[in-house]
Structure 1
Amino acid sequence: MAELHELGVAAAAKAIHDGEVTAEHLVGTFLDRNAAHVYLNAFVSVDADASLEAARKVDDARRNGAALGPLAGVPLGVKDNIDVVGQECCAGTPGLSGHRPKKDAPVAAALRNAGAIFLGRTGMHELAFGITNNNTFSGAIRNPYDPLMIPGGSSGGAGASCAARLTPGGIGTDTGGSVRVPAALCGIASLRPSAGRWPARRIVPISSTRDTPGPMARCVADLELMDRVVTGVTDMLVARPLGGLRLGVPRGYFWEDLDRETERVCQQALTVLEAAGVTLVEADVADLAALNAAASIIAFYEPGRDIVAYLEESGASARFADIVEKAASPDVQGIMRFISDPATMVPPALYREAMDVHRPRLIKAYRDHFAVHGIDALVFPTTPLPARPIGEDIDVELNGRRVPTFQTFIRNTDPGSGAGLPGINLPIGLTGQGLPVGLALDGLPGGDRALLSIAAAIEALFPALPAPKLDPAVVKYTDDKQ
């Protein structure tokens, strides 16, 4: 058996079920790793006592011959915007400090019922409105492959903790790329389920139309297991044969203006796919950029309605005005004021047009593209560039010029989010500077299991990324100089 901290979700569950390790020992191992690597700031809180108590109950159940759930004893990180009984849910923002939900979110309840243990709360970009995870309230989260770099976001804590082997896996949320961007930058796998496929209630929202929780782990098998637990499907996944597989390569949007190292690694991946028998179909999704322009209207209209609904359902004492007023991060302050000020908020008529006209056209464009070209999935770089330094919240360097940080990092993940597509990130290699690069797969709504089977087959073509060499001295040296 591999070292305990190297075990993934499925391997850890099997080791506990087979009696190769106790749940208490496994949880203790991850607690110890978290204590040794707090400088990454991946967790905003760790619930050690409750985790160990839950682990002992799993061990008692096994000794007594009770049936164990498929995730029995497996410690997971849960993003800080998902309700979990007994744990504070802040969504990375001061306005929700002290909020302790009295019920699990449905996604958390499904995982708990399967025996998962919630190790603690993983950090996030404030209110999930960003991708750097440079959170003024809870601190910046560091990328395990280079602690001076961002982990991506908004589910950066789940991404960093999984990559650093502080957890076998975790649960994040995705509105425009928030499980796929950190997975790409941290070198792990992730699934954005089709919109509505995973329950999104009792999760601090941005947009009920676009939001979804999703799993983050180091391999597709672990994503598949968590997907099966949450959705209740019973079919076991079989990797799709690569011969006859047709993947669309939309050069005209997703492959433009890429960081040179990202382009090199992703182009090499296409060569590997072709050599394995995959047919690559180069064609662009018609009018994609124009059709996706309305997606931001939805994301800026719905928070004022959906956050209020969350506060009421979860029993939080905070009001929406408190959330706006107390926002701590400069970028999030600006967004919250924009969406709450009558002078700048999205008019209802414009929102209805986006929902009734533009979003259906975006979905139809994807469906037509898949049908006309006979493709099984789209393939493209998850992000146009690898991780950039912490603190570059406004703009970052790309090919010798400064470009907007947020819009650039979500450029490739946002259209599929707006259309409610399932999307997967696969880690496929490292840049010359040792930073992870992710390859994205998008399918059609409802095609999650088929997309997972494709991802499982593609994953097997690429060697696993080396584990990051965690070195707190790098951070201490940098802090001492400042």
Structure 2
Amino acid sequence: MVTNKLSANEDYIKMKIDSEKTKNTEISMNKLSINEALTQMSIGSLTSEKMLKQALIRIDQNSDRHAFITVDREGALKQATHCDSLRTKSEYIGPLHGIIIAIKDNIHVAGLPNTAGTPAFSNFIPSEDSPVIGRLKKAGAIIIGKTNMHELAYGITSDNKAFGSVGNAILGNYIAGGSSGGTATAVALGMAVAGLGTDTGGSVRIPASLNGLVGFRPSVGRYPSEGLTSISHTRDTVGPIVSCVRDAQLLDTVLSGEPDKTEEISLRGLRLGVPREYFYDNIEPIIAQKTELLLAQLQDAGVELVYTDLENIGELNAQVGFPIVLCETKKLLSAYLKLNLPTETLDSLLEKIADPNVKGIMQMAINGNITKQVYDDVIERIRPDMQQLYSTYFTTNKVDAIIFPTTLLSARPIKGSEETVELNGIQTPTFPTYIHNTDPASNVGIPGLSIPLSSTAEGLPFGVEINGPINSDRRLLAIGLQIENIIQKAMRRSIETKGE
């Protein structure tokens, strides 16, 4: 049966094509990129105040998505007015002048509550910005508010029992992914132009993938980590969620504090590793089909695909992730409470946790279920072995990056997905199923970039991820830009064919 229905990503491309044809001066906030917004403001077609007001309308219209916990209407409007005033005098704060950005509610923003998605922190208002927020503000960004998340970042659905379940941008009764689900839904629905999340095991890349966005996890240590409600100093990092790779490049420049070193990449002769074992196992059929199509398109563009596996990656990964987080959570949250909420203890925090599953995990962390001996063995032996495996893979096979589906499956309904989700006719545990492909890069600390690939018949998006060697962030983003171009060119051809 032939259908002319466009996928969610194709619909976005069609919107861009129609906008180019009509040169419509009424700017849509739907997946408006940073660069598009800056261009429109430079020619007078858009102002920061107008952009902000459109974003606030989107927030009100989509309140059932529970994307935000706190919206700073007054503060954001004041800053937008200031940015517009400066622009009339040809004065600019920085490269993000007047851009609306949403912030996950575990990243400190001075003067705004920082709940980390849990009731115990509801009244905590930081007096200082985290360094990453300081860099955004110095670049001219406007913080519109704090976004909803999985409680304490301990989950991947963003089904928050205290502040509401975050709904997927396409289908509101489906999961948004997590733990940075609120940021992804906000950006996808035009409640902000860009957003920040945090990523422990996939918490930026998974919601980006499930909402048709770009999600970037940098090499650990690339961005400042102070001023976060963190659960793992080994694995946690801030990461941008944006509408396109160029926006990720811009935010990476701002957040890293490094000069813009955008590298030009040619696909011809580029070598990409394709680790079939583990990363391509038991994938939802439409994701497998679209990924294979992309691999063929990349090969046609001159990319050399290297079909080599990361030996025993599943076994190594299983030994690393959970012990690190469980052991580090207790120490980090104890210090965090002492510094920021001295009237709270780990026991009182535990008592107030709204999600039974999160409470169970926290109980394990507090009880010390992972011994120091086990933790030390992971940190000193197993994780270094895993890091060496990746390093050897990149150097021996002379590959620039590896490529695989970001998730094994698309979004599933919120209801019924707390414990298990359906994948290829079988109920599988929700958490390990969604982080299956994103977790290894988190454990070794290398950069990962999720790029929108396509959508299911229901319109639910999914992405493809690339990982690069440690500290290859700028090169990985440049590779991602070329892959994004290949995907979007194919979508344009599909749209033109369907329109004939």
TM (norm. structure 1) is 0.93
1:24-423 superposed matches below 5 A? 24-292=49-317, 293-314=319-340, 317-342=343-368, 345-391=369-415, 392-423=417-448
Tell me the matched-pair count.
Answer: 464
* Corresponding letter in the other structure for 1:371: T
Structure 1: how far apart are the matches of 2:280 and 2:88?
Answer: 54
Q: Secondary structure at the match of 1:387?
A: coil
CA change 1:381–1:291 in 2 (3 A) is same
CA change 1:318–1:75 in 2 (3 A) is farther
* Corresponding letter in the other structure for 1:249: V
CA contact (8 A) 2:159 2:165 kept: yes
Structure 2: how far apart are the matches of 1:113 and 1:317?
Answer: 33
Q: Deviations over 1:66-117 (max 9, x none)?
A: 3331111111110010000111000000111100000001111110111111
Q: Secondary structure at the match of 1:195?
A: coil
Residue 15 of structure 1: how far off its partner (Å): 2.9
Structure 2: how far apart are the matches of 1:32 and 1:295?
Answer: 40
Residue 451 of structure 1: how far off its partner (Å): 0.2
Structure 2: how far apart are the matches of 1:416 and 1:312?
Answer: 31
Aligned pair 1:441/2:466, yes or no? yes
Q: Secondary structure at the match of 1:283?
A: coil
Residue 393 of structure 1: how far off its partner (Å): 1.0
Residue 148 of structure 1: how far off its partner (Å): 1.6
Residue 26 of structure 1: how far off its partner (Å): 1.3
Q: Which moved more, 1:95-104 or 1:54-63?
A: 54-63
Partner of 1:463: 488
Residue 315 of structure 1: how far off its partner (Å): 5.6
Structure 2: how far apart are the matches of 1:440 and 1:82?
Answer: 25
Structure 2: how far apart are the matches of 1:287 and 1:78?
Answer: 37
RMSD: 1.6
Q: Deviations over 1:248-304 (max 9, x none)?
A: 000011000111121111111111111111111111112211221222110110000
CA change 1:377–1:316 in 2 (3 A) is farther
Structure 1: how far apart are the matches of 2:28 and 2:168?
Answer: 22
Aligned pair 1:3/2:27, yes or no? yes
* Corresponding letter in the other structure for 1:261: I
Residue 308 of structure 1: how far off its partner (Å): 2.1
Q: Deviations over 1:95-150 (max 9, x none)?
A: 11100000001111110111111111111000000001111111101111111210
Structure 2: how far apart are the matches of 1:303 and 1:51?
Answer: 33
Q: Deviations over 1:143-179 (max 9, x none)?
A: 1111121010000011111111221110000000000
**Percent identity for Structure 1 against Structure 2:** 38
Structure 2: how far apart are the matches of 1:53 and 1:294?
Answer: 46
Structure 2: how far apart are the matches of 1:70 and 1:314?
Answer: 32
Structure 2: how far apart are the matches of 1:69 and 1:277?
Answer: 38
* Corresponding letter in the other structure for 2:464: L
Q: Deviations over 1:176-211 (max 9, x none)?
A: 000000011111001000001011111101100100
Residue 65 of structure 1: how far off its partner (Å): 3.7
* Corresponding letter in the other structure for 2:349: I
Partner of 1:451: 476
Structure 2: how far apart are the matches of 1:162 and 1:298?
Answer: 31
Residue 20 of structure 1: how far off its partner (Å): 3.3
The gaps in structure 2 that reach 5 residues or longer are 1-24, 493-500
TM (norm. structure 2) is 0.90
Q: Which moved more, 1:455-464 or 1:103-112?
A: 455-464
The gaps in structure 1 that reach 5 residues or longer are 467-482
Structure 1: how far apart are the matches of 2:247 and 2:210?
Answer: 19
Structure 1: how far apart are the matches of 2:258 and 2:217?
Answer: 17
CA contact (8 A) 1:103 1:314 kept: no
Structure 2: how far apart are the matches of 1:383 and 1:99?
Answer: 34
Structure 2: how far apart are the matches of 1:268 and 1:317?
Answer: 56
CA change 1:394–1:108 in 2 (3 A) is same
Structure 2: how far apart are the matches of 1:445 and 1:316?
Answer: 37
Structure 1: how far apart are the matches of 2:362 and 2:395?
Answer: 40
Q: Deviations over 1:355-394 (max 9, x none)?
A: 1111111110000011111100010000000001103110
* Corresponding letter in the other structure for 1:161: A
Structure 1: how far apart are the matches of 2:179 and 2:73?
Answer: 24
Residue 322 of structure 1: how far off its partner (Å): 2.3
